[in-house]
């Protein structure tokens, strides 16, 4: 994964970078909530995936770190939705010690519609089970802004 700030500055080590943000927030007395989400977009034969780690600082705004990857692969809608969720869960799990050590409120957001009339809904139950089974708080559309607004911004 090639993590960057939204402005494009590269991040060498995502774990150390996130920990430094957490430590700075603690030193400033700022309460943090972190939301992780992913989105994808099909461009011809390619699928572009984006993952976002969104930092919400109570009464101080927020910002995000992003990772983007393009793959030449064919996927159905359900498989693509689960691939998005898997990317978000993977980074949440990779950074799990940080959430535990610093008592950080974490949500994993899925770009899946709760309305059955939308195609993405076919993956709702599996995505919810996957995220909650890993011990994370699950959010879907319309509450899944880390996926639908943040990660979506970079694909």
Q: Between vectors from CA 95 to CA 56 and to CA 1, what angle results, nearest 5°?
A: 95
The angle, 0 to 180 degrees and rounded to 10, between the axes of the packed helices 77-94 and 124-133 is 10
Convert the pLDDT of each residue in 54-109 to its tens digit: 999 998 999 999 999 999 999 999 999 999 999 999 999 999 999 999 999 899 99
Does residue 35 have a pLDDT over 80?
Answer: yes
130 pLDDT tier (thresholds 50, 70, 90): very high
pLDDT for position 153: 87
pLDDT for position 68: 95
Q: Map tokens 């996130």 to a residue.
A: 18
* Percent of the chain topping pLDDT 90: 94
pLDDT for position 53: 98
According to DSSP, the β-strands at 46-57 and 61-72 are: antiparallel
pLDDT for position 154: 86
Judge contact between 92 and 136, C-beta under 8 A: yes
Please give the order of strands across the beta sheet that includes 32-43: 4-5, 61-72, 46-57, 32-43, 105-113, 137-141
């Amino acid at each position: 994964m090639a993590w960057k700030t939204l402005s494009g500055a590269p991040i060498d080590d995502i774990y150390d970078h996130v920990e430094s943000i957490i430590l700075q927030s603690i030193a400033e007395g700022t309460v943090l909530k972190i939301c992780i989400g992913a989105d994808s977009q099909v461009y011809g034969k390619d699928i572009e995936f984006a993952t976002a780690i969104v930092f919400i600082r109570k009464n101080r705004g927020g910002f995000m770190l992003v990772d983007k990857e393009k793959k030449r692969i064919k996927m159905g809608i359900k498989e693509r939705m689960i691939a998005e969720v898997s990317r978000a869960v993977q980074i949440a799990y990779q950074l799990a010690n940080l959430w535990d050590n610093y008592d950080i409120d974490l949500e994993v957001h899925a770009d899946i519609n709760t309305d059955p009339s939308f195609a993405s809904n076919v993956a709702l139950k599996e995505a919810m089970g996957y995220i909650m089974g890993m011990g994370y708080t699950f959010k879907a559309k319309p509450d899944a802004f880390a996926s639908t607004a943040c990660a979506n911004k970079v694909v």
